[in-house]
Structures are given as C-alpha cells and as structure tokens.
Amino acid sequence: MTSPDQAYFQTPSHVVAAGVVLSVVDLVAVGLRFLARTRQKQRFGLDDYLMALATILTVAIGILLVYGVSQRTFGYPLRIPANFTGSPLDFSSDQIALTTKIQYSYAIILPLALGCIKMSIVLFYMRIFCVTTDSKTHTLLVLLGVLTGLWTITFFFSTIFQCGLNMWALWSTANNFGKYCPNTMTKAVVQCISDLIVDVMLAVFPIPLVWRLNLSTSNKITATAVFSLGAVAIVASLLRLIMETKLMVQGLDPSADEILVITEFMYWGMVECGTGIFAGSLPVIQSLFRNMPWASRLIHTTRTTASSWLSGSRWHGTGSTIGHPADLLEDASKGQHPAKTSTGSISDHYHHISGDPGSDFYFSSLEPGFYLHHGNIDRLHFIWQNLDWKKRQTIAGTGTMYNSPPSATSKLTDNMGFEPLNRNITIGAAMDTVGGSPLCYVYEPW
C-alpha cells in the first residue's frame, strides 16, 4: 500500500509510466531518426549510433523501474516489521537488498546513457554547424566533446567503485553503506552539478549560431525552440541536483524512507535520459513532417536570401571544391557585397562565398563540383554539374565534407532531400537554373 505522504513521482503508477512511456517514445524517435536519414539519402553518422546506444541504455533503465515496481521495491514504502525496535539505519531486509541492487545497476548505466546523449548532440552540432575543422565553432565543439567523454568515464568508474571492493555494503544496512562507501553523496552531487553545466552548455550553444542566420525573427525563434527542447532535460537534471544536495546536507536520516528516496532518484534520472533522447533527435526527425508551416516559410526565406546575394554576380577563377570558412569573411555578415577571396586558396585559384556566416552559401565558379551549404541544414549537399545544362553530367550525390565523392551511379531523376526544408525534389530540378527557383546557381566568368 502506498503512503499519502508520497509525491506523485514516488507512486507505482507514475514510476511505471515513466519507464514505459519514455522508453516507447525514445524508441520511436530514434527509429524515425534513422528513417529520416534514409529518406534524405544521408549516411548514418556516429551521432546517430550513439543516440541509438543511449536509447538501449535508457530502455534498460525503464525495465529496471518497471521490474522494481513489480517486486514492490520502488513506489512502495519500506516495510519494517512491527516487532523491530532498533534504528531504521540498522535495518536490513530482502526488499532493501533488491532495491539497492537495482539502484546500483541503474547508477552504473546512468552516466553511460547521459554521456552517449551528450556526445551525440555534440557530434550532431559538428555535422550541421562545422564546414571546416579550423573554425572556432569546431574547436569549441571538440573541447566540449572531450569534456563529455571525460565526464562519462570518470563517473562511470567512480560509481562502480563507490564502495571500493566492499560491494556488499551497497545492499546492507544504511549504516554499513555510510561506513564503507564514504563521500558517495558528495560524489553524486558533483556528478549532478557537472551534468547540469554540460546540459546548459549544449542547450545554449546553437542559439547564437541560429541568430546569425539571415532569417526572419519568427523563423529564428522557431529554430531556437527546436534546439531548446533540451531544457526539459535540464529541469530533470536540476531536480536531481536539488534532491542529491538535500540528501548530502541532511545525511543518513532515520525518518526518511530509503525506498522512496531511491525511487525519486531513479524517476528523475529516467526523465532526464528520456527527454534528452527525444530532444536530441527532434531536429533530425522533423524533416519527415512536410506540412509544417514554419518549414514553408524557411524554404521561402532561404531562397530569397540566396537570390538576393547571388543574382547578377559575375565571378572569376576556377577554384577548387572547398570554399573558405564563413567566419573568416566578416564583411558578408554586415550586408556588404558577397566576398571574394584568394588568399590561401587550394590549387591557387579564386574561392568565393556569398551570404552571411549563417547562410554559408559556398561556390566556386566554373567548377564542375558545386557545393551548397546552409548553416542550419543537417548536412552539406554535393551537386556535380557542368555549366552547360545540355552537357551536364548525370552524376550527383549528397553527403558531408568528409564523405567519399558522390556515387557515379546517381541520376538527374533521383530524389534529393533538403533537410530541414522538408523538400524532396529530383537532382535535375535542384540544378535547373532555367525552370525557376533553383537550389543551385550558375555563374558566368568575368
């Protein structure tokens, strides 16, 4: 029987709901993530695989929660026999032993799941915001990735050996736990604080990049909202921190129900993992929903931006297949004429960029390999063409800057996705500079 003093997140129904619903939502979200990659003809990246691994680990946590409730070790008050006259801190039972064993398994899985989620998000940011490896954005993301990796490894092993080699103390009495597992609560608070800091950094990181885009305020707000859904995970992380801090301050409290305390801890850990996976996958899976009004506005805005910068431009030089980083061309961000640079160019030819550092439209005129990149699009599109429409090669492909060259078996009639513009058109239509509103442009030499 439950106690009237239990909070909602300590009740069996809510614990089971968190374990089941969040697991199902995450499985669907990650499944749609891979479906979106397939439909957009993108290769699966390490960010996708890490999110899939995080989902497996989160589902494992959900299973532990449901199993614990089924055994009345979660969501139910501690059962102390009426004839027990000692301190609750010296009480041991099968219920406590099973509860702490499940909690120990959960505590080991948690940093791995959170670490995979965070690293997946970092790699996803690299995928959409980093065109070259020598930009400040790439450097910051590498540092954030290293920090995330160290965080995961540190707290994984510190959790395993929190009692040294005295593992038995974990499922013994509370006093034995305090004796043989010193500073466990302090370590848990440090883990929660660092977890919260990294979550905030990941949620805030894309905001300035989005607001540098040449989009309307409403579209910037919409894009920011998509990336900011991770704030839900931040709330869960904050609640875990508050709970752990309270436990550390009050120490071993005989009046506290050990079972319900562990239930609360595991509930919010499940919420943080579950919401983190969904929020981290949403920017990818939203491309599957084609009728979203904001997507149509984004398509129009992106085309207008490209046309306003590129119309009437005449450029010189052949260039190579790699453009200069947008953040080296600050003039473009100030609304000036599209920049042209040749310093440090590959193969000693001119390289050109038009647009602002957010739009990042790269091109090299008279170049069969034509690259189009938008700063907040999920990938870089490779479109190989000849300047003469009638003589264009029937080869094309998509990928990222570090992919192998596009497949020579692709045809102009193949569909190509332009995520997150929610648009699937043929490669020929994307390259058509005569039919109107092309997604690629042809430039004449001086």
Domain annotation covers residue 440: no
List pLDDT tens digits, range 51-109. 999 999 999 999 999 999 999 999 888 888 878 777 777 788 888 889 989 999 999 99
Question: Average pLDDT, stretch 187-192?
Answer: 90
Considering only residues 305 and 12, tell me which one the structure prediction assigns the higher pLDDT.
12
pLDDT at 17: 95
Q: Are residues 278 and 318 in the same domain?
A: no
Residue 117: which domain range? Answer: 8-288
pLDDT at 71: 92
List pLDDT tens digits, range 223-240. 777 777 777 788 888 888
Q: Are residues 268 and 302 in the same domain?
A: no
pLDDT at 389: 33
Domain annotation covers residue 437: no
pLDDT at 93: 84
Q: Are residues 352 and 398 in the same domain?
A: yes
Q: Are residues 254 and 298 in the same domain?
A: no
Q: Are residues 117 and 252 in the same domain?
A: yes
Beta partners for 380?
Answer: 399
pLDDT at 214: 58
Q: Are residues 109 and 183 in the same domain?
A: yes
Domain annotation covers residue 344: yes
For residue 37, give the CATH number of its domain: 1.20.1070
320 phi, psi to nearest 5 deg = -110, -165
| Listed residues 272, 288, 304: the one ending a domain | 288
Beta partners for 362?
Answer: 353
Burial classification of residue 20, based on how many CB atoms lie within 10 Å of its CB (0-12 exposed, 13-18 middle, 19 or more buried):
middle
Task: Report the percent of the chain where pLDDT is more than 70.
Answer: 61
CA 342, distance to chain mean position in Å, is 36
| Listed residues 253, 271, 288: the one ending a domain | 288
Question: Average pLDDT, stretch 236-253?
Answer: 79
List pLDDT tens digits, range 341-353. 333 332 223 333 3
Q: What's the mean per-residue pLDDT of the chain? A: 69
| Listed residues 242, 264, 288: the one ending a domain | 288
Domain annotation covers residue 438: no
Q: Are residues 159 and 307 in the same domain?
A: no
Domain annotation covers residue 2: no
Specify the number of domains making up the chain.
Answer: 2
List pLDDT tens digits, range 408-428. 444 556 665 544 443 566 655
Instruction: Report whether 70 contacts 64 (CB < 8 A).
Output: no
Give the Cα separation of 130 and 148 in Å (integer). 19
Beta partners for 340?
Answer: 352
Instruction: Report whether 327 contacts 375 (CB < 8 A).
Output: no
According to DSSP, the β-strands at 369-372 and 351-354 are unpaired
Considering only residues 225 and 386, tell me which one the structure prediction assigns the higher pLDDT.
225
